């Protein structure tokens, strides 16, 4: 699609800040053409991976692939930056939560992408892991669907990563997602989640997580997909709208539009806290006594949820 994509703010005919090609996006104070946008995104991800030591030779990466925009961009970028010649293997893992009218399309998108890229793809379902699809698990309490799904999906991804012998679990969280999490944890007064860095490494048998897109904005992700011809208009999860994150997403988007730099300020504040505040004793991670999963208490949140549902 290239220069046909018009995402610049109020000046669709502006030129790229680095060449005379038409700009497709205005973000971070600079206009970028299609070519420079792709290069900027990939170079920034490459720099983050290198400087933060996210990937090492011999790593087997389990890439969480929902089929949505962020995970699609993640797999596209990694497939270009981490070729097999670097002794790093990629395996995409998709979790089929069992959401009627939604997961079918995104699962198809994930299968199509991995086939096109030639990347091994595994699909795990809530029904097999937890005994029921999400729709059945949350029947009668659909307003909690997003929260319950998030906890169980994390557990399912962890299990999938261990099954393939992954050394790292890679997720597609972007800069907007990260800023939203900061504000959510502040509003909840959850210091442990605010300063716990899941990508810093966990004790055995937990698989450490990395977030290569954490420095890329949602706008940049969308533009990258448009330019590379992989943008697909997919349905929104029916459980997402009532969730707190949806409200936070809309609020932060408005604040960033009216007060540029809000997102970055939140992320910087989080990083300062992480550098100067130690985790309280109750935040130390351990193995859940029921499933062996990652937990800050004797029983992990996933098992607590399943218990409350009689599963």
Q: Give 188: exposed, middle or buried? Use CB within 10 Å, 0-12, 13-18, 19+.
A: exposed
- Distance separating the N- and C-terminal Cα atoms of the chain: 48
Predicted local confidence at residue 3, as pLDDT: 33
- Say what percent of the chain tops pLDDT 90: 52
Q: Of 38-52, 184-198, 284-298, which has the strongest mean pLDDT?
A: 38-52
Mean pLDDT across the stretch 222-245? Answer: 87
Query: Does the pLDDT value for residue 200 go beyond 60?
Result: no
Residue that the structure tokens 């009218």 belong to: 101
Q: Which domain holds residue 244?
A: 48-283
Q: What is the pLDDT of residue 284?
A: 63
pLDDT for res 230: 93
Residue 227 falls within a domain, yes or no? yes
Would you say 92 and 121 are in contact if contact means Cβ atoms under 8 Å apart? Answer: yes
Residue labelled with tokens 């070729």: 83
- Beta carbons within 8 Å of 155's beta carbon, 6+ residues apart: 129, 291, 293, 300, 302
Residue 84 lies in a domain: yes
Note whether 184 and 244 are within 8 A (CB): yes
CA 223 to chain centre: 17
Q: Where are the alpha helices (DSSP H) in 124-188?
A: 126-130, 134-137, 145-163, 175-188
- Token pair, residue 42, equals 């990939």
Tens-place pLDDT, residues 93-111:
999 999 988 888 999 999 9
Q: Give the DSSP H/E element, type plus range, for residue 62.
A: strand 60-64
Give residue 115's pLDDT: 97
Packing angle of the helix pair 175-188, 244-258 (nearest 10 deg): 120
Residue 170 has pLDDT above 50, yes or no: yes
Question: How many independent structural domains does the chain possess?
Answer: 1
Note whether 135 and 99 are within 8 A (CB). Answer: yes
Q: Closest by alpha carbon to 62, among 105, 152, 109, 122?
A: 122
Task: Compute the average pLDDT of residues 177-184.
Answer: 92
Domain assignment of residue 14, yes or no: no
Q: Give me the CATH number covering residue 208.
A: 3.40.50.620
In a domain, residue 291? The reply is: no
**Helix, strand, coil shares, percent, the chain, to 5:** 50, 10, 40
Q: Is residue 13 part of a domain?
A: no
Q: Is residue 60 part of a domain?
A: yes
| Domain presence at residue 297 | no
More confident of the two residues 6 and 298: 298
Asked if residue 248 belongs to a domain, the reply is: yes
């Amino acid at each position: 699609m290239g220069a046909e994509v018009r995402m610049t703010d109020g000046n669709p005919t502006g030129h790229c800040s680095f060449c005379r090609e038409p700009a497709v996006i205005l973000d971070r104070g600079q206009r970028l053409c299609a070519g420079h946008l792709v290069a900027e995104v990939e170079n920034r991800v490459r720099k983050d991976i290198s400087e933060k030591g996210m990937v090492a030779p011999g790593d087997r990466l389990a890439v969480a692939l929902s089929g949505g925009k962020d995970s699609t961009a993640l797999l596209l970028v990694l497939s270009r930056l981490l070729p097999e010649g670097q002794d790093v293997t990629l395996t995409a893992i998709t979790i089929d939560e069992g959401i009627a009218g939604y997961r079918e399309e995104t699962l198809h998108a994930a299968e199509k992408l991995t086939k096109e890229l030639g990347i091994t793809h595994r699909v795990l379902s809530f029904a097999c892991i937890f005994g029921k699809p999400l729709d059945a698990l949350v029947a009668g309490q659909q307003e909690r669907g997003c929260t319950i799904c998030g906890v169980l999906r994390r557990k399912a991804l962890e299990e999938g990563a261990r099954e393939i012998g992954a050394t790292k679990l890679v997720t597609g969280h972007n800069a907007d997602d990260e800023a939203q999490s900061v504000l959510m944890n502040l509003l909840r007064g959850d210091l442990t989640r605010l300063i716990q860095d899941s990508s810093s490494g966990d004790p055995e048998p937990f698989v450490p997580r990395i977030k290569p897109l954490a420095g890329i904005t949602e706008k940049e992700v969308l533009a990258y997909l448009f330019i590379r011809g992989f943008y697909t208009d997919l349905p929104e999860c029916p459980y997402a709208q009532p969730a707190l994150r949806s409200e936070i997403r809309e609020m932060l988007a408005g604040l960033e539009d009216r007060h540029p730099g809000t997102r970055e300020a939140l992320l910087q504040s989080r990083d300062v806290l992480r550098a100067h505040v130690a985790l309280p004793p109750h935040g130390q991670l351990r193995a859940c006594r029921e499933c062996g999963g990652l937990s800050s208490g004797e029983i992990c949140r996933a098992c607590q949820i399943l218990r409350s549902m009689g599963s």
